[in-house]
Amino acid sequence: MLKKNIKNWDNKTWLSSNKYIQSFNVFLLRQIKLNRNSQILDIGCGRGKILGSLSSTLKLKNRPTGIDIERHQDRDKRIIFKKIDAIEYLKKDKKNFDLILIKQTIHLLNLKKIKKLITLCNSKLNHGGKLFILTLKTSQNEIPTFLLMKKKLNESLKRDKKIIRFISQQYPQIKKKEFSFRVKISKNKYKEMIKNRYISIILNFSVQEISKGINEINSNYEKTINFKDKLICLILEK
């Protein structure tokens, strides 16, 4: 599960900035009541910076658990990190959680695995616990793109829409919220992010396609790029 290896999605981008992390955690804590005794799991945690910040904010007694297929050297030391398949972990581990977070990774799975993962997550929630699934907003998306990237993004968003509909049909009681973060980034920094393949839709692009895309970004955007990073949040409560 989660076979695509996205090493740079939260590495020196707006997603790893203190401003983004604080904004996201404020959003999170508006949707769920947590305290220092809460047990938290993040599936696809990357470097675990969101989880680590949340741990400090709540002054958690027990370190939260983060799962990812990449063991980053600079992962957050405030979390318990496990390099393991999420379904395998949930089947074996006996711990229950008050919050399970799946942020911008659900689209990497097929529908069969999505159903299995959500079923397992739901079974691992404490009473009153919540599962948060976040994915890119499928309409009015503002992520800066070049031509081929835009094509792949639209294809991905169509699939995301199908996934959201599938989950909503499986769990009619699920709630939907939106998270939006205003991004201000230099064009040079964004070009570097593209070069580092920060998003899954460009992972399989050739070096030539990436180079051409960077040239398009250079021609089509100002020195400073402004946009909103918009996410849909599905919330399932036990």
**pLDDT tens-digit map of 165-212:** 999 999 999 999 999 999 999 999 999 999 999 898 999 999 999 999
The domain limits of the chain are 14-183+228-237
pLDDT at 69: 85
pLDDT at 9: 52
pLDDT at 108: 87
pLDDT at 7: 55
Indicate the pLDDT class of residue 4, thresholds 50, 70 and 90: very low
Residues 6+ apart with CB under 8 A from 146: 194, 212, 213, 214, 216, 217, 220
Digit-coded pLDDT (tens) for 33-68: 999 999 999 999 988 999 999 999 999 999 999 999
Residue 228 has pLDDT above 50, yes or no: yes
How many other C-beta atoms are found inside a 10 Å radius of the C-beta of residue 20? 19
Superfamily of domain 14-183+228-237, CATH level 4 = Vaccinia Virus protein VP39 (3.40.50.150)
Question: Is residue 41 a contact partner of residue 129, using CB atoms and an 8 Å limit?
Answer: no
Q: Would you say the C-alpha torsion 218, 220, 223, 224 has a positive or negative sign?
A: negative
230 vs 214: CA distance, rounded Å: 23
Digit-coded pLDDT (tens) for 5-40: 555 455 567 888 999 999 999 999 999 999 999 999
Residue 2 has pLDDT above 50, yes or no: no
Mean of pLDDT over the chain: 93
